[in-house]
């Protein structure tokens, strides 16, 4: 049986939100499914995509711990795009897969099924107030690329409504004299609010999107808890990603 290494790497990055999510369970048949959350609960990835990784009639489940350290370095060592794979299911989490390309072999062990942090559903709650929605298109990504160049020094990305305008911003909000960068996204009749997201998680989210596929992003906000969420989804609903906002102090 052959596995497409390039496509496997792509699925692993999407299912873990470029490794913002530490553990992973992949379920493979004619499609690949995953419903994962990070250890801190702030990142969520929901996939149901075409299986272009492994040609199989069986239903297979792969459980991995620390994908960035225990999986990616080993599959990245092959020169060819496709290699042979042998899967040994074992018992009680003792299974592994062996990737073979000529004389080169990589063994990748599976973890116990209880280790991956699953969300346990194929979507997040939708009956909430989504106060703003937009297309994640080339114009937006050009703005975000500039946010990405500056934002690492602050570690935060903000979505802010102020004076009936909505902005994407990076700055140090704890310092009134902080430098910063912001973009006016749209006009919006709504009370002022501010959502704060991890810079790393936001960058990882944007890095897994192929905007040619068509994606939209929308936001919700819980006034009582002063917390919100960004929900990014493909037009065909095959990919859905969420980031929860951070408490601002």
Domain ranges for the chain: 2-109, 130-244
The answer to whether residues 26 and 15 touch, using CB atoms and an 8 Å cutoff, is: yes
Distance from C-alpha of 161 to C-alpha of 193, rounded to nearest angstrom:
5
DSSP codes of every residue in the chain: -EEEHHHHHHHHHHHTTTTTS--EEEEESSEEEEEEE-TTS-EEEEEEEE--SB--SS-EEEEESSHHHHTHHHHTT-SSSEEEEEEE--STT--EEEEEETTEEEEEE---TTSS-B--SSS----S-EEEEEE--HHHHHHHHHHHHHHTTT-EEEEEEETTEEEEEEE-TT-TT--EEEEEEEE--S--EEEEEEHHHHHHHHHT--GGG-EEEEEEEETTTTEEEEEEEETTSSEEEEEEPPPP-
Determine the pLDDT at residue 93.
63
Cβ proximity of 25 and 113 under 8 Å: yes
Whether 243 contacts 229, CB under 8 Å: yes
pLDDT value at residue 14:
98
Q: Which residues of the chain have pLDDT under 50?
A: none
pTM of the complete model: 0.94
Using CA atoms, how far apart are residues 134 and 230, in angstroms rounded to an integer? 11
99 contact partners, CB below 8 Å, separation of at least 6? 3, 5, 74, 75, 78, 83, 84, 85, 105, 106, 107, 108
The predicted structure's pLDDT at residue 225: 85
| CATH class (in words) of the domain with range 2-109 | alpha beta
Fold match between domain 2-109 and domain 130-244: yes
CATH topology assigned to domain 130-244: DNA Polymerase III; Chain A, domain 2 (3.10.150)
Instruction: Please give the pLDDT value at position 92.
Output: 65
* pLDDT at position 57: 83
Q: Alpha-carbon distance 146 to 170, whole Å?
A: 10
């Amino acid at each position: 049986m052959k596995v497409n290494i390039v496509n496997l790497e792509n699925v692993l990055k999407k299912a873990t939100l470029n490794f913002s999510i530490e553990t992973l369970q992949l379920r493979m048949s004619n499609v690949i499914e995953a419903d994962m959350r990070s250890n801190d609960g702030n990142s969520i990835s929901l996939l149901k995509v075409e299986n272009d990784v492994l040609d199989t009639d069986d239903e297979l489940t792969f459980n991995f711990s620390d994908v960035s350290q225990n999986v990616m370095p080993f599959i990245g060592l092959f020169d060819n795009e496709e290699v042979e794979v042998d899967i040994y299911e074992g018992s009680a989490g003792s299974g592994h897969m062996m990737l073979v390309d000529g004389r080169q072999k990589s063994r990748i062990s599976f973890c116990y099924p209880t280790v991956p942090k699953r969300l346990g559903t194929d979507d997040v709650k939708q009956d909430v107030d989504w106060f703003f929605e937009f297309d994640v298109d080339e114009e937006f990504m050009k703005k975000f690329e500039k946010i990405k160049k500056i934002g690492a020094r602050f570690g935060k990305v903000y979505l802010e409504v102020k004076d009936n305008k909505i902005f994407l911003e990076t700055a140090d909000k704890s310092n009134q004299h902080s430098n910063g960068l912001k973009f006016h996204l749209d006009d919006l009749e709504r009370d002022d609010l501010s959502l704060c997201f991890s810079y790393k998680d936001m960058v990882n989210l944007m890095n897994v999107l192929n905007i040619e596929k068509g994606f939209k992003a929308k936001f919700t906000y819980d006034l009582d808890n002063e917390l919100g969420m960004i929900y990014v989804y493909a037009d065909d609903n095959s990919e859905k990603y969420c980031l929860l906002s951070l408490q601002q102090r």
